[in-house]
Amino acid sequence: MVFCVWIEKTMLNVTSPPLSYFILGGYMDVGSLKLSYFSLTTVLYIMIIAANTFLIVVICVNRSLHEPMYMFLCSLFVNELYGSTGLFPFLLLQILSDVHTVPAPLCFLQVYCLYTYAVIEFCILAVMSYDRYLAVCCPLQYNAIMTYNKVFLFIISVCLFSFINMLIGLSLTLRLTLCGNTINSLYCSNYLIVKLACSGTKVNNIYGLFNTAVSILVPLLPVLYSYIKILIICFSGSKQARRKAINTCAPHLASLLSFYFGCLFEILQSRFDMSSVPSTL
């Protein structure tokens, strides 16, 4: 609520009348399939909420799981609840609506939620790769290096960085003069809103590139370094050590690949001309 009030005050400070709503152009008339899409999305959302809540409870209740790896996993599950809640209720409402409009403050709130969720996910996955590197390559020093205080410090630092980073980016977007209000997407996207601007977007573009580098490329470096080291250990050790390393890293690697491929698709469809791609995709 406080965040929405801040958005409204910021929008009133721009030189031209602020837009009161955005139109989501990614939706189309699906006719009788509307209820099917709604039901499928609802089931998916319920499964996400139930699975992540169950895993959080299991980790919190079971004291044997109070280890750095599971604490990082728990932070991922909490972040999944945060990100999915920022997306799915909005999608469900739009699927049932005949007019796909969204109030501007709510649109910017969704942008903030989804982008902070993504940055937290990238950074936590990077920290987890470092954790797995220590567990596989430096097992004797692992407990001394990865203490509980350091785990909490990593998690809090990642969250603060994400919230402050996106607050700056969103502030730059709110000060733009927009010449349109149609977003060609199923949900609100900061980059697509910036593309609607008829004023200069140089600062936004520079900060956007900087933000992408810091939020995606920088976390990718420890991931690549850690897994290169882990692979070296795997291929140089015994079969038992290789199996243990694979079992230790497989869940994290699966989460990593899934999230990176999803974000790659989002970047491609928002930044390049996708008119040749069927709209149903």
pLDDT digits (tens, 9 = 90+) for 123-157: 998 898 888 888 878 888 888 888 889 999 999 99
Residue 78 belongs to domain with CATH number: 1.20.1070.10
Residue 15 falls inside a structural domain: no
**Size (the chain), residues:** 281
Q: Provide the domain count of the chain.
A: 1
Q: What is the pLDDT of residue 16?
A: 46
Q: Are strands 21-24 and 101-103 parallel, antiparallel or unpaired?
A: antiparallel
Residue type, 90: F
User: What is d(CA 238, CA 109) in angstroms, rounded to the nearest whole number?
Assistant: 51
Residue 10 resides in a domain: no
CA distances from 206 to 15, 169, 200 (A): 22, 10, 12
Tokens of 235: 């291929």
Q: Is residue 221 part of a domain?
A: yes
| Domain interval for residue 204 | 20-167+174-269
pLDDT for the residue numbered 15: 41
201 within some domain: yes
Which residue type sits at 201? T
Q: Are strands 21-24 and 182-183 parallel, antiparallel or unpaired?
A: parallel
Paired with 102 in beta bridges are 22
Cβ atoms < 10 Å from Cβ of 111: 23
pLDDT value for 11: 52
Flag whether 13 is in a domain: no
- Extended beta strands in the chain, E state: 21-24, 101-103, 182-183
pTM assigned to the model = 0.83
User: Residue 281: inside a domain, yes or no?
Assistant: no
Contact 36, 43 (CB under 8 A): no
The pair phi, psi for residue 23, each rounded to 5°, is -110, 130
Q: Specify if 191 maps to a domain.
A: yes
Residue 184 falls inside a structural domain: yes
Segments in the chain below pLDDT 50: 12-17
Q: 10-33, pLDDT tens digit by residue?
A: 554 444 445 788 988 877 776 778
